[in-house]
Amino acid sequence: MLMREVKVRKRSDTGEQSIVRMKAGRSGIVEATYRMDVTEFRVFFTMLTMISPDDVTFCEYEIRVADIMRLFDLSRDGRSYEIIKEAAERLVNKTLVLYHTKEDGRRYRTVIPFLTSTSTQIDDARGESIRVTFHPELKPFLLQLRSEYLEFDVKNLARVQSQYSIRLYMMLRHMMNLKRFTVRYTVERLREIFEIGEKEYPLYGNFKQKILLRACNDLNETTNIRIDQLEEERSNRKIAAIVFHVSEQKRPIQTTRKNAKNKLDEPVEPDVAVIRRKAPVVAISSDSSLEPVVDELFSSVQPYVSRQVLQEWLTLYPEEQVRIAIRHTLKQISQGIVIKNVGGYLQKMVTTSLPLSFEAPPAKTADEKKQKELEKARKAQQQQEERLAEQTRAQFQRAVQMLREHPEWVQRVEEHLQTGLFGHFYRKERDLAENLQNPALVGPFFQIMTTLMPTIFEQLDLHQ
C-alpha cells in the first residue's frame, strides 16, 4: 500500500514497524566509513523504520521517547528526552564517507551528512518528542531500493553493547542474506569501515582484543547471528585479513534476565552479584607458520615462560618486537642485573614497542670501588622494594575488603581493568579474583578503587 505524502511522519503512521532497509555493498551505507555511538544508532534506526519502501522523498520524522523505549526494550529515566535530543543533535554533525566510481570512470571520496536538521520544542516542558530530517543526498541509499540492500529487524540489536558490534552485525547480516557464511575482510578495510585510524590501536593484537573479539562475543550473546570462528590470514608474518565463519542462531530478542531492561544511554550490564565471567566464545584459528619461529625462540626463554605464552606474543605482536624484547632481557641477565620476575619483565618488554637500536645500559666497570657502590645501591633498592611490597599488600587487602562491601562496584572495576594499556593482561576466562593475582593489574585496580573511594588508603599506616 502506498504511503500518502506527508510533511511530518510519526511512527504510529507506519504501524510501529521494526524493519529497516539501507543500501549495502562497498558503495552503500553498510560498508561506508563513519562512527555513531549506540544511542545515535538507535535514533538513526528509529528513523529508518519510519521509511516506506514506496517513499520517493524524505519528510520530517517525529520521534518520541516512547518510540525508542518500545523499539529497543529500554527502561526510562528522567533524562531520556535529553539523551535522545543530544544524540539527534550529534547526528547533524555526523557524516559518512564513501569511496566509489562515478560516471566518468574515476574514483571519488564522497562525504554526506546524515541529517540536515533537528528540531525540539522549546515551549514544551514535557519534551516528549523531537523532529529530525535526513539529508537529501541519502535518498539513493535509503529510498526506492531494488537491489543490493540490507534488510533486518532492529529488535535483534536491542541488547548490543557497542557501536562496532552494530557495524559488524550489519556487514555480516548482509552477507548472510546473500547466503554467504564465510566472509573475508582485510584488516585495513575493517579499520576503514570502523573509522579507526593508524594511531588508534596501532598493534593488531590490541585491535583484535578491543574491537574484533568484543564485537564478535557481543553478537554471539545478543543477536540472531553467530561468529563461530575467526580465521587470520598472514602476509609476511603480519595479519593481513580476517575470515569470519558465521551461522544463524535463535533470535535472542527477549532479555535473558527476568523483567530486566537496558538503560537508554548505557549498554546492558550483567548481574554483578558474582564476579566470574564466561569463557570467550569466538575461536581463533592457530597459525602453523609461526611454529618455526616458536621453535627457534623457545629454547632461550624456556626457563621463564611457557611455549603457549611465546606463541601468544608472536600472534599479538610483530616478530621483530618479540625478538628485541627477548634479546634485551637476556642481555640484562648476562650483565648481572637482577630481575626478580623474568617472565613478567619479558611480558612488559614484549608489549612495549622498542626501537631496533634499543640496548641495555653499559656494563659496569669491575674495579672494587664501583663494585661497592653497586652493592650499596642494590641493597638500598632491595629495601625500597620491600617497603613498597609491604605497602602494596596493605593497600591490596584494603581494596579487596571495600570491593566485598560494595559489590555494585564490581562491574566498574572489571571494565576498567579491561581497558587502557594494561587491558591485554585481563583474561575473560578467569574471574576477577584470579585476574587480580596478576601483578600487572594491581596498579589499575588501585586506580579505579581510588576513583570510586578517594579516601580508601588514607587511614592505612604506610611506611614512607
Indicate if 121 and 207 belong to the same structural domain.
Answer: no
Predicted confidence at residue 131, as pLDDT, reads 92
Count other C-beta atoms under 10 Å from residue 436's C-beta. Answer: 20
Measured at the CA of 174, the angle between CA 168 and CA 180, to 5 degrees, comes to 105
Same domain, 2 and 143: yes
Give the Cα-Cα-Cα angle 117, 121, 124 (nearest 5 degrees). 165
- Residue 256: its pLDDT value, please? 40
Which CATH number do you get for residue 11? 1.10.10.10
* Domains of the chain: total: 3
Is the domain of 29 the same as that of 136? yes
Task: Flag whether 461 is in a domain.
Answer: no
CA 157 – CA 57 distance, rounded (Å): 27
Same-domain status, 139 and 3: yes
Position 417 scores a pLDDT of 85
Residues 18 and 97 in one domain: yes
Report how far apart, in Å, the C-alpha atoms of 7 and of each of 62, 131, 253, 312 are.
10, 11, 33, 58
- Asked whether residue 395 falls in the same domain as residue 438, the answer is yes
Q: What length does the chain have?
A: 464
Q: What is residue 462's predicted lDDT score, i.e. its pLDDT? A: 54
Same-domain status, 108 and 78 = yes
Single-letter amino acid, residue 282: V
Per-residue cell: 41: 544508532
pLDDT of residue 257: 39
Calpha distance 138→32 (Å, rounded): 12
Kindly state whether residue 166 falls inside one of the protein's structural domains: yes
Structural domain boundaries, residue 224:
159-256
Among 147, 182, 210, the domain boundary falls at 147
pLDDT at 453: 86
Give the Cα separation of 106 and 102 in Å (integer): 6
Query: Is 308 inside any structural domain?
Result: no
Same domain as 252, residue 228: yes
Co-location of 138 and 217 in the same domain? no
In a domain, 403, yes or no: yes
Look up residue 70 and give its three cell numbers. Answer: 518500545
Task: Report angle CA 147, 216, 285 to the nearest 5 degrees.
Answer: 105
Task: Say how many C-beta atoms besides its own lie within 10 A of residue 456's C-beta.
Answer: 17
Same domain for 47 and 172, yes or no, is no
Query: Hey, what's the cell of 131?
Result: 523532529
Model pLDDT, residue 425? 81
Q: Can you give the pLDDT at residue 282?
A: 56
| 10-residue stretch averages of pLDDT, the chain, 464 residues long | 66 86 91 94 94 92 89 82 88 91 86 93 72 94 92 93 94 94 94 90 85 92 92 86 92 47 54 35 56 85 85 76 87 85 86 55 57 79 78 85 84 84 79 83 85 81 52
Same domain, 136 and 36: yes
CA angle 328, 444, 358 (to 5 degrees): 15
Domain boundary among 239, 256, 273: 256
Do 138 and 163 belong to one domain? no
C-alpha 461/C-alpha 86 separation (Å) is 47
Of the three residues 256, 284, 315, the one that is the final residue of a domain is 256
Confirm whether 178 is domain-assigned: yes
22 - beta bridge partners? 150
3-state secondary structure the chain: CCCCCCCEEEHHHHCCCCEEEEECCCCCCCCCECCCCHHHHHHHHHHHCCCCCCCCCCCEEEEEHHHHHHHHCEECCCCHHHHHHHHHHHHHCCEEEEEEECCCCCEEEEEEECEEEEEECCCCCCCCEEEEEECHHHHHHHCCCCCCEEEEEHHHHCCCCCHHHHHHHHHHHHHHHCCCCEEEEEHHHHHHHHCCCCCCCCCHHHHHHHHHHHHHHHHHHHCCEEEEEEEEEEECCEEEEEEEEEEECCCCCCCCCCCCCEECCCCCCCCCCCCCCCCCCCEECCCHHHHHHHHHHHHHHCCCCCHHHHHHHHHHCCHHHHHHHHHHHHHHHHCCCCCCCHHHHHHHHHCCCCCCCCCCCCCCCCCHHHHHHHHHHHHHHHHHHHHHHHHHHHHHHHHHHHHHHCHHHHHHHHHHHCCCCCHHHCCCCCCHHHHCCCHHHHHHHHHHHHHHCCCCCCCCCCCC
